[in-house]
Chains A and B, each alone.
Chain A
Amino acid sequence: SQTIHQWPATLVQPVGSPLSLECTVEGTSNPNLYWYRQAAGRGLQLLFYSVGIGQISSEVPQNLSASRPQDRQFILSSKKLLLSDSGFYLCAWSASGGYNEQFFGPGTRLTVL
């Protein structure tokens, strides 16, 4: 069966510090991978998605970036965090192709102070 891991679970970082969140998927190959952010108001905002190694699509211009160095690894980064980057970050995967359901990881709760 497939599993998705995210770490860390919680993170408190000062403004201006760098960020690296990691997501890995097990039990499947060539998945589509996604990063979402959920602010306190509960809505989900798609940040990035990837259909293959090195292929990243950005949905929202901001100070975040994503990379996919391996087939089942997806990394969310920032060089300098802003207060507005605080939120709940969720990674998800889906089977390749279209219209497939997405399966979400446990999330990382980021607080920028």
Chain B
Amino acid sequence: AQKVTQAQTEISVVEKEDVTLDCVYETRDTTYYLFWYKQPPSGELVFLIRRNSFDEQNEISGRYSWNFQKSTSSFNFTITASQVVDSAVYFCALTSGNNFNKFYFGSGTKLNVKP
């Protein structure tokens, strides 16, 4: 069965600190995709990244970086030099196998960045 675990319910940091959001996934499929979404207080989910199971290269986009490790089934998200605008709930999601229309979302991590 597919499952995504985000063990950190809520994290608080001070602006300019680095912060890592953890995501651990479970699937028996060899082909799968992982995603990160940001949900600011307005409510709309914003797509951040998609990564497939055959590409373990880490990704960097500005202050955001993602560390994909198949050996530990993790897809962690790091924000460098956090800013108040990064305050949001962040979701990790997985889709795999033949039912690739179904996303399995983690329960989310609420990030509070204080000035």
Contacts and interface: CB of A to CB of B under 8 A. Distances in A.
B44 A99 contact: no
Interface stretch (B20-28, B55-63, B69-77, B105-113): B105-113
B95 A99 contact: yes
Contacts of B47: 101-104
B103 A46 contact: yes
Contacts of B43: 88, 90, 106-107, 109
Nearest to A43: B107
A51 interface: yes
Contact of B100 (A42, A99, A106): A99
Interface in A33-47: 34, 41-44, 46
Contacts of B19: none
A106 B42 contact: yes
Interface string B21-52: 00000000001010101000011111100101
Interface residues of A, number: 26
A98 B44 contact: no
Contact of A99 (B42, B46, B52, B107): B52
Contacts of B52: 99
Interface residues of B, number: 23
B105 A59 contact: no
A42 B46 CA distance: 15
A42 B50 contact: no
A32 interface: yes
A42 B101 contact: no
Contact of A43 (B46, B105, B110): B105
Contacts of B105: 43-44
A46 to B, nearest CB: 6
A3 to B, nearest CB: 12
14 contacts: A42-B107, A42-B110, A43-B108, A46-B102, A49-B102, A59-B102, A88-B43, A90-B43, A90-B44, A99-B31, A99-B33, A99-B100, A104-B46, A107-B43
Interface of B: 31, 33, 35, 37, 42-47, 50, 52, 89, 91, 95, 100-103, 105, 107-108, 110
